[in-house]
Structure 1
């Protein structure tokens, strides 16, 4: 019994050279994946770009954390961030820090305004998203899913890396 191997398109067959060249779709997918690993987190929700999003790592047993990011309204109407949710916390609230009676105090806010053309930074010591009642440990290198809700009904789902924040305003205890 003799077995033979036949090539579907032997090298001398017409079109064989074309098949050996990388496909444009494969190149685009590979390039997209490579850029995704190099560029900072960028998402866009109805004219709102979201960059540099991350959540603060906390020691095991700590029940609260905070998420930070930069939001830019690139649309033609003022917008507002109204809500956020995550499977990593029982509740996610919009917060800010305000000076009251000589003390910096954290307060919940109803919304975070996003005026047209403006950059709004959620950062330690200022506006931020408060993750209350953590449902999992947040260690550096982990990822959490977070969904933002805007005043026009649009939502944006993000995957945020968990990062350690050094001492300073970002290390202030939260609730």
Structure 2
């Protein structure tokens, strides 16, 4: 037997508790919601490591998922917080890991490309301001087919879960 309390006062109290719970949880959920879509592309959790105040560079990372049946290409990036933004990758050359600029990054149909420390990343040069842990800054990504999308890059003191190997990655100390 199911008992249903139809007392209006009890119903109001339960509704208030539910709304209060949602009001407390919703900001945390929205803060974690950090995904963007443009065309068939889905961009997950753009982030950057907090850099020292005097660092002239920083790097931005994210994952691009292509949910479509057609490949696309990331052609470039821009942001008002830096003089220029370039697409870069790390490569092994002559036994040394070094960073180099790439003209574009292919996003395969039905696939994904990770922009992560020691891999592809957006390199930000001539920083106009340093963002601190917990802040965000805009980054516009330009794709060949999907067009442009502005994402908000979350600045973090530490690499997010799953990027722990990035602990030694310092955008201010790359070899070019």
TM-score (ref. length: structure 1):
0.76
**Normalized per residue, which structure has more helix?**
2
Equivalent residue in structure 1 for 2:153, among 155, 160, 165: 160
Map of 1:99-118 to 2, 5 A cutoff? 99-118=92-111
Question: Is 1:36 paired with 2:35?
Answer: no
Question: Is 1:47 paired with 2:59?
Answer: no
* Runs of 4+ more than 4 Å apart: 30-34
TM-score (ref. length: structure 2):
0.76
Query: What's the RMSD between the two structures over aligned residues?
Result: 2.4
Give, in whole Å, the separation in 2 of the partners of 1:81 and 1:109. 10
| Higher Rg | 1
Give, in whole Å, the separation in 2 of the partners of 1:32 and 1:107. 41
SS of equivalent residue, structure 1 residue 149: strand
Structure 2: unaligned runs, 5 residues or longer = 1-14, 16-22, 160-165
Change in 2 beyond 3 A, CA 1:46/1:97: same
SS of equivalent residue, structure 1 residue 83: strand
2:129 alignment partner in structure 1: 136
For the Cα contact (< 8 Å) 1:59–1:138, is it kept in 2?
Answer: no
Change in 2 beyond 3 A, CA 1:163/1:34: closer
SS of equivalent residue, structure 1 residue 147: strand
* Cα deviation digits, residues 104-152 of structure 1 (max 9, x gap): 0100001011001111100000100000110101221121100000012
Structure 1: unaligned runs, 5 residues or longer = 1-21, 23-29
Count of residues in Structure 1 that have an aligned counterpart in Structure 2: 148
